[in-house]
Every structure is written in structure tokens, then in C-alpha cells.
Amino acid sequence: MSKPDPDQDLARLESQIAALRDDIAHIVTTLGDLSQTSAETLRASLAARAEALRQDGAARLADVGGSAEAKLAELTDHARRNPWQALAVAGGIGLLLGLLWGRR
């Protein structure tokens, strides 16, 4: 049996440490790329969701605006057809508001 050579063992150990350092550097680079990709994917997903919510909000606002305009036109038409009734309703609302605000 031959004795183990300490110089050979040291050289082998140094080469294994160098390979391990290369592997760790590769892992760190891969993890960095993965986190960057994940952040970009998340950012794009959030931007798409925000745009969808904005479009949905704009559509709902347009619906409400159209509905309010239709109700206002209907109310105006009713007031023109029945001016005395509209005046009585407005006066009643004014009286109630005056009573409520006068108590404060």
C-alpha cells in the first residue's frame, strides 16, 4: 500500500473548492435572473389588472352617467308637463330641509 500524498490531496481539495465556487456563482446568477423575471412578470400582471379595472370603472361610470342623464331628462319632461306639481314637490322638499337645518 502506498501512502497518500498530501500535495495531491491538497491539489484535489483546491480543485473541488474552485468547482464549488463556480457552482455557487452559477446558482446565485440563476436565482438573480429568476427573481428579476418574477418581479417583471408580477409588474406586468399588476399593470394588466390595473388597466382592466380602469376600463371596467370607465364603463361603469359611462353607464351611470347615461342613466343619470336619462333620469334628468325624464324629470325635466315631467316638470314641463306638470309645472304646478313640480313646484309643490320642490316647495315641500324645501320646507323639510328648512325644518331639519333650522333645528341645528
103: helix, strand or coil? coil
Helix, strand, coil percentages (3-state) for the chain, rounded to 5, are 90, 0, 10
Per-residue pLDDT at 69: 85
The closest of 16, 35, 37, 15 to 27, measured between CA atoms, is 35
Write the pLDDT tens digit of every residue in 63-85. Answer: 888 888 888 888 889 889 988 99
Q: Helices 6-81 and 83-102: crossing angle, nearest 10°?
A: 120
Whether pLDDT at 28 is above 80: yes
Average pLDDT, the chain: 85
Domain limits, the chain: 6-102
Cα-based distances in Å from 17 to 25, 28, 30: 12, 16, 20
Amino acid (1-letter code) at residue 76 = T
Per-residue pLDDT at 2: 61
Whether pLDDT at 95 is above 60: yes
Taking residues 48-59, report their average pLDDT: 90
